[in-house]
Structure 1
């Protein structure tokens, strides 16, 4: 019974239960080597844990011990092993927005501390900086946090910032340290900045992938008016409707439960055959046959209407990806 209960816990919850059992000091030692997003997700899971029984704890710890026994016992770095194990359990870039930043946030300084701040607070802090400075700062943040921060900046500023991110090929370490000093004075912090590779087309595209569809469209329209070639390069790197073919079957099934039949019917009018078959194969036979018949019988639709339906579905997919309910990269990550 207890084992069955523990099986209901997802990866972050099992990791959270593990941390709660090893003690505050040991947990803090492990957590300080993890990324802000991982710590936030584990912290949120800790806050949500309810009705935990001792047999459930024993089951989670038992599985952890089994994993340890399968590893080489000689010379193993337990902290590094735990970090790798929990990173695998949590997956990459699946953390949803968490209001309360925990544990290490108060010890992070300078530019690094921005990762622990609410996006609206980050926007308020940098909105008066030069657009190039804003571009560098957003490039340092995770894409979802950068996207939400961008959405809180003045509308006229957004296209300029995205264009600067897309054309940013790197920053001199000295310039980055100077920027860190500025943030240090405002946040009473300091940090060692080692990386100078920031920005680029892919970074800009990743940020836009997390922005609401209507905001994204507005930004891309303005960039297209200014620099059509750059706009196309960014668009080429963005997650588009046909890229849903890379989502695993379980993810497609989860997505379909959130999408209306009318929107799906309209969106598939502009999809390639491979994606259509992917969708059909993840529906019941009867539902797939009905959808095929509706597609064949449907009257012509405006391209703008088809694109709007596709953007609506993509917005749902991005929201679900942020919540960790599906992986836009396909081949979903395993959870412990």
Structure 2
């Protein structure tokens, strides 16, 4: 979502209500859990609107609004159908329960819809193991943002704890109940819950800049080289683009502005730059090379930011099922 839209969930809610359930669901698919919650809350609380009110909102998104429209407020049925199409039954139910005050939504599920700053504030003074449990259960993007808001001196320890988590014991769940009883809600379980802490750490680190990743991997290698290797195998970093097939690279390139790609490939190894260039026509490759040459000297931070944008694009395409980022163990990097 753009910064402009993020500042006005009400306007986005009006737009989605005018699109119908299927149209709204398609938009929901491209939003983060936090954005979905913000907009859904606005839709749920929206009273019936007059035609001119709707038109004023529409004019904000379009240069000209040609049809007269009147819409009813967001009904529970409308929201539920839209969210189920976009998110699936389970996540849609959890969000609906949190909006309409149902009592059977667990604390950990509820936290998926909270602002990262609010989650960080909630757990900052708790035991590191409980913090690790929460970070393991959140979506990787949200977990990374929560981690950023916790004291930096704790990051190495927290990631180590997360990496070693394989299941959630009922006794830990009970401790979470004590913590979140008044502020979020109760969790109920009598069985161990399986979690993939190792993959969560890899996904969190995938969202860090390269210098932070290098620092963290160095820490893991010093503490437990085997664990470090397993984390690295789960990660997808910029160097791994050289191991993807050309069809996958082509789909990624289609989503990236050329100026971003030019900046990202500045100083890249031949295997990486070659992968991207091989997906282009001769003319496109020449334009790319000319762009790179015209950049001259650039700051390392600019290159890292451009590479991070491309990585984020690749991960989004992967999450949406448009590409696969799985790297074969047999396809080793050649130095």
Using the size of structure 1 for normalisation, the TM-score is 0.60
Point out where structure 1 has 5 or more consecutive residues left out of the alignment.
Answer: 1-12, 59-77, 93-100, 296-304
Match among 214, 222, 225 for residue 222 of structure 2: 225
Partner Cα distance (1:81, 1:103) in 2: 14
SS of 2:165's equivalent? coil
Instruction: Say what the alpha-carbon RMSD is for the aligned residues.
Output: 4.7
Report matched runs for 1:136-285 at 5 Å: 136-172=133-169, 174-187=170-183, 189-192=185-188, 196-244=193-241, 245=244, 247=248, 249-259=250-260, 261=262, 263-269=264-270, 271=272, 276-282=274-280, 285=282
1:332 matches 2:322: yes
Q: CA deviation at 1:229?
A: 1.8
1:104 matches 2:82: no
Q: For the Cα contact (< 8 Å) 1:204–1:234, is it kept in 2? A: yes
SS of 2:317's equivalent? coil
Q: CA deviation at 1:226?
A: 1.4
Aligned to 1:68: none
CA distance change for structure 1 residues 123 and 87 in 2, over 3 Å: closer, same or farther?
A: closer
Report matched runs for 1:71-150 at 5 Å: 83-87=83-87, 104=98, 107=101, 110-150=107-147
Q: For the Cα contact (< 8 Å) 1:169–1:197, is it kept in 2? A: yes
CA distance change for structure 1 residues 257 and 312 in 2, over 3 Å: closer, same or farther?
A: same
Partner Cα distance (2:123, 2:134) in 1: 9
Aligned to 2:58: 50
Q: CA deviation at 1:188?
A: 5.1
Query: 1:224-255, CA deviations, whole angstroms, 9 ceiling, x for partnerless residues?
Result: 22122211211111112254436463431332
CA distance change for structure 1 residues 50 and 269 in 2, over 3 Å: closer, same or farther?
A: same
Q: CA deviation at 1:166?
A: 1.2
Query: 1:64-122, CA deviations, whole angstroms, 9 ceiling, x for partnerless residues?
Result: xxxxxxxxxxxxxx99875553338xxx9xxxxxxxx9993573663333223221222
CA distance change for structure 1 residues 215 and 50 in 2, over 3 Å: closer, same or farther?
A: farther
My pick for the range that moved more, 43-52 or 110-119, is 43-52
Q: CA deviation at 1:145?
A: 0.6
Q: For the Cα contact (< 8 Å) 1:112–1:191, is it kept in 2? A: no
Q: For the Cα contact (< 8 Å) 2:106–2:188, is it kept in 1? A: no
My pick for the range that moved more, 78-87 or 313-322, is 78-87
Q: CA deviation at 1:127?
A: 2.2
Alignment: residue pair count: 265
Q: For the Cα contact (< 8 Å) 1:169–1:198, is it kept in 2? A: yes
CA distance change for structure 1 residues 82 and 290 in 2, over 3 Å: closer, same or farther?
A: closer
Partner Cα distance (1:281, 1:137) in 2: 41
Q: CA deviation at 1:217?
A: 2.8
Point out where structure 2 has 5 or more consecutive residues left out of the alignment.
Answer: 1-10, 47-55, 71-77, 293-297, 324-335
Q: CA deviation at 1:146?
A: 0.3
Q: Which has the higher contact order (CA 8 A, sep 6+)?
A: 1
Partner Cα distance (2:212, 2:134) in 1: 20
Aligned to 2:309: 316
SS of 1:168's equivalent? coil
Q: CA deviation at 1:170?
A: 0.6
Q: For the Cα contact (< 8 Å) 2:167–2:192, is it kept in 1? A: no
